[in-house]
Structure 1
Amino acid sequence: MPQDQAVKKKKKGHAPVHQNKFAFHHNPKSKKTAAILASPIQHVCRRCHEKIEWKKQYRKYKPLTAPAKCNHCGNRNVKAAYHTICESCTRSSPQSLALLEQWNNHRPDIAADDDETAVTASARTYYRACAMCVKEPAIRSLADQEEDTPEPTGRKLKLREIKTLERQEERALAAKRKKKKKDDDEDDDDDDLDESDKDMSDTEDPFLQAVGGADKLLTGDAYQNMLLQREQGIMQIDSSTDMAT
């Protein structure tokens, strides 16, 4: 290709000498960013939930500095960003009640032979409308799920999550077996001690054997008389030996 027909490459630009110091620069380590990322996403539908997640991911989320005005009741009770109605109106406003009745009464029919799907559909109950678009049912929160059977997420577990659950089950079973074995060993030790005590009780004490048995064991006045008689006998033996000498 001739050199004159070749497309000339543009030179790469350089950073500007004077940068705008007043423009917004994102700081990922700021406390405000940490608070935004830690804030929960509640009372919204699936689509609105994904929108708010996208805003958080790409640092487009702008939190409220003051409570906003609700479009249904007119009070300043909206505390979450991008919500159009307050939390109470998602369940109690006339528009939300009408939508909830429509969603709960007009659910798709389930085949009778599919028991698992039937149970899932019977457990699905909508409790509030989306606080952002007010067009779809909101994802049930933990507080809502406590009122009814928790609905399955429907998300397929990853291999790593499955392995983690299996390891947790194995550790729990191993700890249970170890505890059971320890309890069994303690019971065996107690049985051995009881048997040894029983054997010792069956065999006679060596002191009793030297005395002549438990029947000949003297106590009190009888023991004192026995000692006196023994001393008198010793004295008589000594006197007899002296006379003999």
Structure 2
Amino acid sequence: MSLQKGNTSRTRPQKHKNKSVFKNNLHDTSQRTKLVNSIQVSSVCVRCKEIIEWKIKYKKYKPLTQPKTCVKCGQKSVKQAYHVMCGDCGKTLGLCTKCCQNKDVVQAEPSEKEQIKLDNELKALIQALPERKRRTFFRYMEKKSKEGKNDSAQENEKDELMHKLNSLKLNDMDDFSDSDFDDSEDEK
């Protein structure tokens, strides 16, 4: 482009064109590169997530060697690069841990192993319920799934489902109280 005043449109195409997409692990297969590529960016706003993902994609991300000091609690508990606040402070205050602004925070999706573990725990809890309570729980799940919700509401939905499951389990324990098995009443 010319430095001429008012000349903002280019007449020729770009001189150097990339023929292939940049791959950050093409020539570097070290442990550090594998570690950086496996990072899941979470507890930050959408814009900050895009920034950090860009750094990872184009090999500009530099991981921390030592924990940084959190700007809210003052502890050396920030373990992610480019973050200025620890995850605990970010959760309690509902802020992005990179820019410290009150925006919609993106939460990390559980890994496959964690998801399988959670599913197995849920199945075990459901199997422990009596049939009547189990059907009640399934009806409650169907009712919640029919209601269309966004991502932030899905996290609350999971908490609600676990709360409902625990309440059903507690009610199950209340059905069999100690008074049902007293021998003193039978002798009279």
Both proteins in one fold, TM over 0.5: no
- Computing the radius of gyration from Cα coordinates, the structure with the larger value is 1
Bucket of the pairwise TM-score, normalised by the shorter protein: 0.3 to 0.5
Q: TM-score, normalised by structure 1?
A: 0.34
Structure-2-length-normalised TM-score? 0.44
